[in-house]
Structure 1
């Protein structure tokens, strides 16, 4: 396989590659730093990376990939029980961390290499690392990324080198992504969004990435006003942006200068789309992916930015919707709900040490069962309506996606945040339950008001039958609402 990062040798030596705060590396410096570290990894097998949002994490992962050694990113916010499971399951031979990182007790017995992006000592390690990388095959593992573990202990998705290359090249086609682009983001680096798209993506293109360390609207304004061309974020970030626009006119100007604003990891409410577009003249585009599949679909940079959709399948990705019995849905009418199944070079190869789970994740003819429910428009655009396990509500003989009801609720001025679930109902099978964070806690909108609001926008059978008012919704590190944590008092 050819190098995942040809720009390490092809890009201008003085071109900025990575910047975290006031620390940065050019392509020449990054090539030397990662070459030195790759040379010390040898045949290390799998290596763990203490994935803080720092220059050291980016250097560690790139070095591992150049050495042909799979990297296991560790979430620094994980508890010791979860970390213990990941370490025993993936069995890394050592851990890579910044010198100042204090690691939890469960990790301290692992041999440790301190990552120091010191490029003062030039050696032949860069050439050695490049030669090692080019002997790797397409199917060799590149990363082992652990899923969120909502239905049991986290599973390690083994992501091959071909999946990283094919996803990033497909996104380059869809987003017209080049080495001239400068990406800004503040996402964590233990997840495919922040790490694969946000760090490895710019480096494969020969462009630059500026990581904010911690997301802030001030940081977004600063970087987009100083030459950055792209912003990657999750819905909670764009929601904060939408709320701040009226009080931060420089933020609106900065967003207006961006070539591409991309949201992912969860659906961005239509209301936030509209507020950002009205203030900036720019539209946020959405893409759809998973740990196991990397990226599957996206709105194209040269396509129609249609709020509430995740665009069309990326080049090389096959996508179909299926009924509960597995029969493919052939009617793209924007209404028929089915489970998304995908296949293509972007897929993971297995769940580490879990042949049973791996077999269950695929159909006999090789399609990956995503568990996501969607409808498809006549022109191929995909609109996700929720997860099969938590967001598909069967009420009164209808299959209803929670996502479209949540979007409708968010259009009500009295609703700041919304989540929708189903609960058993003797008459309907399931009834629709709305969990609302009101805009004004002193005057929350009631059931009758919200039911009428939803029924007038969607259909009467999609109206909520119960409303709970909350001070906040439970979310994970990527901003996704954890619906299994929503329980009745």
Structure 2
């Protein structure tokens, strides 16, 4: 198959490839550094990578892929119990880490290789960036899911899925070697690692990683040549909050070619605040660990707030009812579970044939567990997770996401989440979890119910409002509804 990173072997040059803070590598330097790693791990099978937001993580993963092995990125915030499970399940031959990085006890039993990410003549042992012929179905990554319903499962992602996803996004976003991407996302997740690092390298462009996200870093990079920004809703919310007092940030965002949000729905309120201040609209895409990317708002399409665009080239997408019947209506109202099929899909859950079989329908569609509606032009609008965000109340199927967006439009609401709970009359009643903008003067329950009913429909109003100081979130900024107080 075509190499994952043609720019590493096709006349590597002095063009910038990676930059983390003050440290950077050109394509020639990356080819040497990653080639050195490849020479040391070739034949290792699976290789754990201590995935700190560092140059060493990027070099290590690229080196593993050049060697034809599979990288297992590890979250540095994982506890010993979770790490122990991942190591037992994936059985990596060794672990890659930055020199001097202190590894937790479960990793100390593995043979360790320190990644030399120095530049130029500092890199020793490089043997070139060619891995030879590697079958496209061979595993490239084993990425562990969040484990909300049990121990994390290792999604085996083949080289084919990475290549096809990144090429489909190149088509959708007109992504070329001229683009310079800036982001501050974690590198143990497919958003930050596959899209945010491997994506620019496959195109022959460059990435500037902030290390830790802040609006000052975004301003600096977008004002000095970066063309694209990848972020999650929490990051864009912070941007929206900062914009009124930061005209330099507004100018930097206005000059970007593409602002992309993913990993969770970006509230419409934040969409509109950013657009009003910058004249640029954030576009969203939709994917998950097992599928990489499924849909995206195209660079040449309408950046419609609250939607994740249309299926990417090569991806089939359908909505289905609980009984498996297909939802054909393109009316923006008919709700169904998203199922997808295409070359972007993972191969299996490692060592879990039962879970793999349960994840697919008999005709090969992957059950995402997400629920959505489709607009008349085919745009997909996700309304939540089937398990936590689809509320069946009074004979209606209601998506939590649209109620959350309506609540966030209320000036007295800072954060909001919506769930359902059993109700003898309605089946389920709608519960709103609200973080007030002013904790000393929270909005009244009836006021919020009327606000939602006036914007959506009376049957979508919250029946109960519960007030919190903050909503529980994971490392990617997603609200963890299962962690809400009972």
Give the TM-score, by structure 2 length.
Answer: 0.99
Give 1:369's aligned residue. 367
Aligned positions of 1:67-216 closer than 5 A: 67-118=67-118, 119-120=120-121, 125-127=126-128, 129-130=129-130, 132=131, 134-216=132-214
Say whether the 8 Å CA contact 2:49–2:95 is kept in structure 1. Answer: yes
CA RMSD, Structure 1 to Structure 2 (Å):
1.0
Residues 126 and 6 of structure 1: CA distance in aligned 2, closer, same or farther (over 3 Å): farther
CA distance in 2, matches of 1:467, 1:363: 38
Is 2:268–2:305's contact at 8 Å kept on the other side of the alignment? yes
Provide the C-alpha distance between the structure 2 equivalents of 1:359 and 1:487, rounded to a whole number of angstroms. 33
Instruction: Determine the C-alpha separation between the residues in 2 that align with 1:482 and 1:200.
Output: 28
Deviation at 1:331, TM superposition (A): 1.1
Quote the residue 1:9 is aligned against.
9
Could you tell me how far 1:123 is from its partner in structure 2?
7.4
Three-state SS of the structure 2 residue aligned to 1:48 is strand
* Residue pair 1:11, 1:206 contacting (<8 A) in 2 also: no
**Which residue in the other structure is 2:319 paired with?**
321
The corresponding residue for 1:31 is: 31
Instruction: Sort the Cα spacing of 1:367 and 1:149 in 2 relative to 1 into closer, same or farther, 3 A.
Output: same
Over 2 Å off, 4+ runs? 9-12, 121-127
Cα distance change on mapping 1:65 and 1:426 into 2, 3 Å: same
Q: Secondary structure at the match of 1:120?
A: helix
1:2 deviates by 1.7
Indicate the SS of the match to 1:204: helix
1:111-153 Cα offsets, whole Å, 9 max, x none, are 00000113426778443x41x3x41111000000000000100
Tell me if structure 2 keeps the 8 A contact 1:34–1:126.
no
Give per-residue Cα distances to partners, 1:148-183, cap 9 Å, x unaligned.
000100000000000000000000000000000000
Measure, in 2, the Cα distance between the counterparts of 1:70 and 1:10. Answer: 23
Q: Tell me, what secondary structure is at the counterpart of 1:393?
A: strand
Aligned to 1:21: 21
CA distance in 2, matches of 1:319, 1:390: 21
Determine the structure 2 residue equivalent to 1:306: 304
Aligned to 2:60: 60
Maintained 8 Å contact 1:56/1:117: yes
Aligned to 2:285: 287
Pair 1:46-2:74 in alignment: no
CA–CA separation in structure 2 for the residues paired with 1:13 and 1:103:
34
CA positional deviation for 1:9: 2.5
Q: Report SS of the residue matched to 2:17.
A: strand
Contact 2:116/2:123 (<8 A) preserved: no
Q: Residue 42 of structure 1: CA displacement?
A: 2.0
- TM-fit CA distance, 1:446: 1.4
CA contact (8 A) 2:157 2:347 kept: yes
Structure 2 CA distance for aligned equivalents of residues 377 and 222 of structure 1: 38
2:478 counterpart residue number: 480
Contact 1:46 1:70 in 2 (8 A): yes
Cα distance in 2, alignment partners of residues 176 and 100 from structure 1: 40
CA offsets, 1:203-255, max 9 Å, x none? 00000100000000000000000000000000000000000001111000000
Once the two structures are superposed, the pairs formed by residues 408-427 of structure 1 within 5 Å of their partners are 408-427=406-425
Match among 262, 265, 280 for residue 264 of structure 1:
262
Residue 10 of structure 1, CA deviation = 2.8
1:381 aligns with one of 361, 370, 379: 379
Structure 1 residues 11 and 221, CA, compared in 2 at 3 Å: closer, same or farther? farther
d(CA) in 1 for partners of 2:121 and 2:34? 13
Alpha-carbon distance between aligned partners in 2 of 1:301 and 1:361, rounded to the nearest angstrom: 32
CA–CA distance in structure 1, aligned partners of residues 122 and 189 of structure 2:
32
1 CA distance for matches of 2:231 and 2:390? 26
Contact 1:75/1:190 (<8 A) preserved: yes
CA distance in 2, matches of 1:141, 1:71: 9
The alpha carbon displacement at 1:21 in A equals 0.4
Q: Which residue of 2 aligns with 1:442?
A: 440
CA distance in 2, matches of 1:250, 1:12: 36
CA distance in 1, matches of 2:384, 2:168: 25
Contact 1:212 1:219 (C-alpha < 8 Å) held by counterparts: yes
SS in structure 2 opposite 1:364?
A: coil
* 1:253 aligns to 2:246 (yes or no): no
SS in 1 for 2:369: strand
Deviation of 1:285 after TM superposition, in Å, equals 0.1
Aligned counterparts of 1:179 and 1:9: Cα–Cα separation in 2: 15
